[in-house]
Amino acid sequence: MRMEGTAAVVTGGSRGIGLAVARELLDAGASVLIGARGKDGLEQALASLGPAPGRLIAAAGDAGDEVDVRRWAGLALETFGRLDFVVCNAGANHPLGPAVTSDPTAWRDTFAVNVHGPLALVRAAWEGWMREHGGSVVTVVTEGVHGVGPGLAAYETSKAALLQLTKHLAAELAPRVRVNAVSPGLVRTELARFWWERDEAGLAAGTPLRRLGEPEDIAHAVVWLLSDEAAWVTGADLLVDGGRRVRAGMLASPPTPEGGSGRRPD
């Protein structure tokens, strides 16, 4: 996949999946703005990504703040002269715990990052470039929207809203802009550390492909969806979870009668 002469904004780009996406886009020839909250993290990300003269910039800000995400889009347009790709990767997963006892302010903050920020960024990209020139958007959701993870009510509910928003944008912005989602399974990122570090081996053993995901696994899927190789794909939710959801479905399926065909008796 070659992307020379294109430009992208990647939110949550200082680590994990966002950093892996930025690296793959740069390797494909695209120019990239990575946005994240921490300046120290952004500086480390720039050092990690290596020299890319004129093709890589970092900008600090809050992915849930409309002013900041619009500034990211404007800076990309000003620096690169275009904005072909948007990757809404930044995510917030607090508060943890049941929905009925969660802190309302933290709940709203989670929705700001996971839903309102992505919409504001796509609006800015549409108004500044994509309405006239086209483009491609990928939102990073979660395989949890296909089930229920204990303690993840705010995170999974907001990501479910983001997935539905993705589908609406795919319908509204076609045919100029394609909009798709990637739903990662359990990936070894800092955001998910509390979930996987307690029993990484056990969790991997329960996955058909016998390992947890790495940020690069998700980055490959994101960049494919952005690229012209996915030119007839929009409104899709690409599940990248090592088969965990398939296994969950198998465990939930009722057994067939012993020695039978599984057909309903007459």
Kindly report each contact of residues 77-81 with a partner whose C-beta sits within 8 Å and lies 24 or more positions away, as own/partner. Answer: 77/128, 77/129, 79/31, 79/33, 80/7, 80/31, 80/33, 80/55, 81/7
Q: Beta partners for 135? A: 177
d(CA 221, CA 226): 9
Catalytic residue check, 155: yes
Q: What are the φ and ψ backbone dihedral angles of 64, each rounded to 5 degrees?
A: -100, 5
Residues 3 and 82 sit within 8 Å (Cβ to Cβ):
no
User: Which position among 55, 155, 166, 215 bears the catalytic label?
Assistant: 155
Overall residue count recorded for the chain in this entry: 266
- Report the alpha-carbon distance of residue 13 to residue 46 in Å, rounded: 10
Q: What is the CA radius of gyration of the chain?
A: 19
In what side-by-side order are the strands of the sheet with 135-140? 56-60, 31-36, 7-11, 85-88, 135-140, 177-184, 237-240
Query: 143: which 2 tokens?
Result: 């395989």
Catalytic residues: 155
